[in-house]
């Protein structure tokens, strides 16, 4: 039964994410918006999909060094990258709902993740 869990977490979930991303890109192309934010959504899908993979691994699979590296990247690297995405979309967020949604999601992730990490560091050094 563990192979079903492994296939579900490590193959089906990423495959579904790629399919949903492709459908979103196709939708953006069909609406003929100016300079669709494909890369911004790719980064957002990778970030939020990474958290989904981490949660599913923690709940239903065995924790590994790769899972730890993923969490490390999601906590320390992804907020900086999504802040860059938000910065690049700041002037284009009025072009479409797609741009606005990508901007808001990127900004929210950056602010929440950096605030949570800063709070954890502060609590760790003040208490410890």
Residue pair 89/102 in contact by the 8 Å Cβ criterion:
yes
pLDDT score for 56? 94
pLDDT surpassing 70 at residue 128: no
The model's pTM: 0.89
pLDDT surpassing 70 at residue 113: yes
| pLDDT bracket for residue 102 (50, 70, 90) | very high
**How many angstroms separate the Cα of 18 from the Cα of each of 46, 88, 109?**
9, 23, 20
pLDDT tens profile 18-72: 999 999 999 999 999 999 999 999 999 999 999 999 999 999 989 999 999 999 9
What is the domain partition of the chain in residue ranges?
A: 2-127
């Amino acid at each position: 039964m563990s192979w079903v869990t492994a296939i579900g977490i490590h193959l089906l979930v990423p495959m579904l994410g790629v399919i949903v991303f492709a459908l979103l890109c196709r939708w953006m192309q069909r609406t003929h918006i100016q300079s669709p934010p494909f890369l911004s959504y790719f980064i957002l899908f990778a970030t939020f999909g990474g958290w989904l993979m981490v949660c599913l691994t923690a709940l239903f699979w065995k924790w590994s060094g790769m899972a730890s590296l993923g969490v490390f990247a999601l906590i320390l690297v992804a907020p900086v990258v999504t802040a860059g995405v938000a910065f690049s979309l700041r002037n284009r967020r009025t072009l479409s709902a797609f741009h606005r949604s990508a901007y808001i999601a990127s900004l929210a992730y950056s602010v929440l993740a950096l605030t949570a990490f800063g709070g954890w560091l502060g609590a760790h050094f003040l208490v410890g």
